[in-house]
Amino acid sequence: MGVNSFTFKQNSTMLNDVIEQLSGQKSIAAVDEAEFVSVATTALGYGYDPLKTAISQVISRSLWVARAYEAVYPSLERNEEEWGGIVRKVTTLDIDFEDDKGYTLQNGVSGPDPFVVNMQKAVQFNFYGGNVYELIITTTEQQLKQAFRSSAEFGSFMAAKTVELQNLLEQKIEAESRIAVNNTIAADILADDERTWHVLTDYKAATGNNTITDQNYLSEAEFTPFAKWFYGALRTKKRFLRNRSVKFHQNIVDYTYKDEDGVDHTITLAKPIKRHTPDKFLNTYLLSQFMDQVNSSVLSGVYNKELLDAGNFEYVDFWQAMENPDEIIVQPNVLNEHGVCAKAEEAVAQAGVLGILFDDEAIGITVMNEGVRSIENPRGRYFNDFHNFLIRYYNDQTENSMVILLD
C-alpha cells in the first residue's frame, strides 16, 4: 500500500535505488513511488543498510578531497511547523448566487425570510505518515592509529569526511525531491487532461505544420519556429493557471467517511474545487537539454530577446537518470475522483518530458525529524555514528500542476 497511513515506512532500500539512478551508477528502472509519496486524501485513518568506510594505511602523502554539493529543487523543502505530524487541509467550496429578493416586495405580503440557512460547504484532505532511514558510520581505533601521523592530518581527514557526509545527505534530499516531483508528473500523465500538455500536437494544430516529429524537431528547419511558438504558448499556459478554475488539478465528486459507530457515509460534493496559481506561487521546471538548445539555436540569433522570455524557471538536467534525461519510469500514488489515494496499477514509462508547472502547495518535502547518536564498543575498540531521518514527501493533487510532454 502507499505511504498515506499512520505508520512510518522503512524505505532505505528504495532510497538507495533512486540515488544510484540519479548518480549514474545504475540504468533507469521503475520506481514504486506510491511507497514514498503521501498524497492528499479525504479518508480519515482510524523498518539496516550500513555504510562502512575503510581508511588506507598512510605510506607517503595523503590528499583529503572534499567539495560541497548542492541538491536540486531547493524550493520544495517545507518547514516542520506547517507540514509535520498529521496535516489537515480544508478547502471551502463555492456557493451559488441568488436573485435579489429586495426587488420582489409586494404590498400586504411579508418580506423575504432573512434567516434562510445557506452554509458554505468544505472538504478536508489529510496527509499522514512519512519515511524513515538510518545511516551507520563505523570508525575503529586501529584505523585511526594507522591512518594519521599528526593532528593536522587528522583534522584534514575529519573536515573532508564531514563535507562528504553532508554531500551524501544533500543527495538524499535530492533523491527525495525527485521522487516527489516525478510522482506528480506520472499522476498528471495518467490523468491526460488539462494537466498534460502535448506540445507537438498543439503546435501542429496551431500552425498546420505536419512535417515536424519527435525525431526531427531539433533540425535546423524545424526547431527555430517550433521553439519560438513554444515560448509564446508557455506564457499563455502560465496565464491560464492564474485564473480561478476547476481545470489543471484533480477534482473529486464525493468522499466517504466513517462515523463513531464505524458506519460509512458518502458525501457528494455539490460544487467542484476551484484553484488559481499566481506567478509568485508558480514553480516552473524545464529540462536543460531542451532549453540549452533553445538558448544556443534560437535566442542567440534573436535581437529582442526580452520578447522570448519563459519567465522564472529552474533548469533540470534529468528527471530520474542521467542516461535518460527526459524519461521517467515510476509507479505513482494517485488521488481519484472519490477522494482516495492509491497506487497506480502499472508504472508510467514516459519519454519526452520537457517540464512541469506546479503550485507551491502541490509538491513538497519536510524533514520531520533528524538526529545523530553515537555509541562506543570498548571491547571491539570502535564507535558507531547513527544518523536517523524521518521525511515526508507529499503531493496535493487538488492543487494546480501541468506536465509538459514533447508529445
Q: Where are the domains of the chain?
A: 8-94+119-405
Residues in the chain, pLDDT under 50: 1-2, 6, 43-64, 85-86, 303-305, 307
Residues 396 and 19: their CA atoms lie apart, in Å, by 24
Residue 29: predicted pLDDT:
75
* Axis crossing angle, helix 220-242 with helix 288-297, rounded to the nearest 10: 120
Residue 284: predicted pLDDT:
94
Residue 182: predicted pLDDT:
94
Residue 208: predicted pLDDT:
95
Name the phi and psi angles at 252, rounded to 5.
Answer: -120, 145
Residue 38: predicted pLDDT:
63
Q: Which residue has the cell 405580503?
A: 109
Contact 198, 407 (CB under 8 A): yes
Residue 48: predicted pLDDT:
31
What three-state secondary structure class fits 207?
helix
Q: What is the pLDDT of residues 288-315, one digit of tens each?
A: 999 988 888 765 555 444 545 556 788 9
Residue 168: predicted pLDDT:
83
What's the chain's length in residues? 407
Burial of 324 (0-12, 13-18, 19+ CB in 10 A): middle
Residue 239: predicted pLDDT:
94
Phi-psi region of 202 (alpha: psi -120 to 50; beta: other; left: phi over 0): alpha
- Single-letter amino acid, residue 51: L
Closest CA to 145 of 66, 58, 62: 58
Q: What is the pLDDT of residues 317-361, one digit of tens each?
A: 999 999 999 999 999 999 999 988 889 999 999 999 999 999 998
Residue 35: predicted pLDDT:
60
Residue 311: predicted pLDDT:
65
Residue 53: predicted pLDDT:
33
Residue 146: predicted pLDDT:
60
Q: Which residue has the cell 505508520?
A: 7
**pTM score, two decimals?**
0.74
Residue 101: predicted pLDDT:
75
Residue 52: predicted pLDDT:
32
Residue 395: predicted pLDDT:
87
Residues 6+ apart with CB under 8 A from 110: none
